[in-house]
Amino acid sequence: MAMKIYGSPMSRASRVMWCAKELGVPFEHIDVPWDKLKDPSFLAVNPNGKVPGFCDGELKLFESLAINLYIAKKYGTGELYPTNIDDEARALQWTLWAATEVEPLVLPAVMVKFGIGSDAAAAQAGAEKVKPVLKVLDDHLKDREWLVGETFSVADLNAGSVVAMARYGDIDISYVPNASAWLDRCLSRSSRNPAARE
Ligand SMILES: N[C@@H](CCC(=O)N[C@@H](CS)C(=O)NCC(=O)O)C(=O)O
């Protein structure tokens, strides 16, 4: 039975679809209308009433980046997921860094851009506060192409999914050229092409 990924492609479900497509793992995509997220039928999938929701056989998961770590480890160890404990720890580090240090600062700009939120002051403050955070990423990438090891990994996919929100929110990140070029590399993967296999 194929994995099931619930949620609009315009939501964080896109991160999970990207991960599955990167590995060529077949999945069933179930779009869930925004006004149905708190319905009991969807709460049975994700009790938070948010997308993505995810099922793989008996396993149900929420949290997009955690789902990606699971998919990458189960279907892509040695490819998308590291084979040694040090690199595994680095992948977890960059994932948690993106979720906790970056996402809260760039989210308000995305909300304003798409008319979901109206706190322009929070959007502007986040765009300022994220500068030293992205400098950490930029410094790490000054003499390397990818975050962990020599190839694109789940660390890039997860952190790239989050840093991309700065772009979606029209936050200029050209002041971190290494991070900017890395984001371009991440976002130009063929697995992000809408025509990539589901
Ligand atoms: N940290 C969660 C965030 C999930 C989330 O907030 N999803 C949004 C869509 S991108 C949602 O479902 N919002 C509806 C709501 O909050 O009611 C994740 O990464 O999966």
- Residue given tokens 């490819």 in the structure block: 79
For the range 100-106, what are the long-range contacts, defined as Cβ-Cβ under 8 Å and sequence gap of 24 or more?
101/133, 102/130, 102/133, 102/134, 102/159, 102/162, 102/163, 102/165, 102/166, 103/162, 103/165, 105/129, 105/130, 105/133, 106/130, 106/162, 106/163, 106/165, 106/166, 106/169, 106/171
Report the separation in Å between the CA atom of 186 and the middle of ligand 1, taken as the mean of its atom positions: 22
Overall pTM surpassing 0.95 (yes/no): yes
Mutation to probe ligand 1, out of 30, 32, 51, 111 (largest number of atoms < 8 A from CB) = 51
Q: Find the 146 Cα to ligand 1 centroid distance in Å.
A: 27
Ligand 1 contact via 53 beta carbon (within 6 Å)? no
The reply to whether ligand 1 has any atom less than 6 angstroms from the CB of 165 is no
- Whole-number Å distance between alpha carbons of 49 and 52: 9
Q: Is pLDDT of 104 > 80?
A: yes
pLDDT digits (tens, 9 = 90+) for 38-66: 999 999 999 999 999 999 999 999 999 99
